[in-house]
C-alpha cells in the first residue's frame, strides 16, 4: 500500500517481505538507490525487535532515513515517539498519511541532493 501511495506521488518505491530484514538476509538486500526505508508494523511488535531491525538497517544503509510506522491499535502518538527515540529511527508515523508525508519530504530532499551530489533517489522497503 505504501509503495502504491509513494508511486502515485511520483516517488520510486519497492517493497520487501518482513523476512528480508532478518540478520541472514538484510545484508544481501540491494540498497542501491534507497534513500529511505519505511518500516511498517501492523501489530504491537516488541520494542527490542524494532530496535534490532533498525540497527541492522543502519549498518546496511548508514546514510538512509528510517521511518518507523506502527499502525497497531492502541499505540498513541506519545508511545510511538518513545519507540522512535528508543529504536533510533529518524521519523515515526502513526498513519499511512503521516508516513507518506515523511516519504514525500525525504524524496524532495534526496532529489535536491541528487542534483548537487549524485545521491540516489528515494525508495521504500517494508
Q: 17: alpha, beta or left, given left = phi > 0 and alpha = psi -120 to 50?
A: beta
Residue ranges with strand state E in 26-80: 36-41, 65-70
Q: Which CATH number fits domain 2-117: 1.10.3470, 3.40.50, 3.30.379, 2.60.120?
A: 3.40.50
- Per-position DSSP letters for 78-110, written without gaps between them: HHHHHHHHHHT-SEEESSHHHHHHHHHHHHHHH
What grid cell was written down for 39? 518500516
pTM above 0.85, yes or no: no
Q: Where are the domains of the chain?
A: 2-117
Average pLDDT value for residue range 103-124: 63
Task: Give residue-wise pLDDT tens across range 38-84.
Answer: 999 888 668 888 899 999 999 998 888 999 998 888 888 888 889 89
Amino acid at each position: 500500500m505504501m509503495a502504491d501511495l509513494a508511486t502515485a506521488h511520483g516517488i520510486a518505491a519497492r517493497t520487501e517481505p518482513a523476512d528480508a530484514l532478518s540478520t541472514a538476509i538484510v545484508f544481501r538486500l540491494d540498497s542501491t538507490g534507497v534513500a529511505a526505508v519505511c518500516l511498517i508494523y501492523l501489530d504491537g511488535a516488541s520494542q527490542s525487535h524494532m530496535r534490532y531491525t533498525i540497527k541492522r538497517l543502519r549498518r546496511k544503509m548508514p546514510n538512509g532515513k528510517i521511518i518507523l510506522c506502527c499502525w497497531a491499535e492502541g499505540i498513541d502518538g506519545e508511545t510511538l515517539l518513545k519507540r522512535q527515540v528508543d529504536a533510533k529511527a529518524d521519523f515515526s508515523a502513526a498513519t499511512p498519511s503521516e508516513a507518506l508525508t515523511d516519504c514525500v519530504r525525504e524524496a524532495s530532499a534526496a532529489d535536491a541532493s541528487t542534483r548537487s551530489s549524485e545521491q540516489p533517489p528515494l525508495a521504500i522497503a517494508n
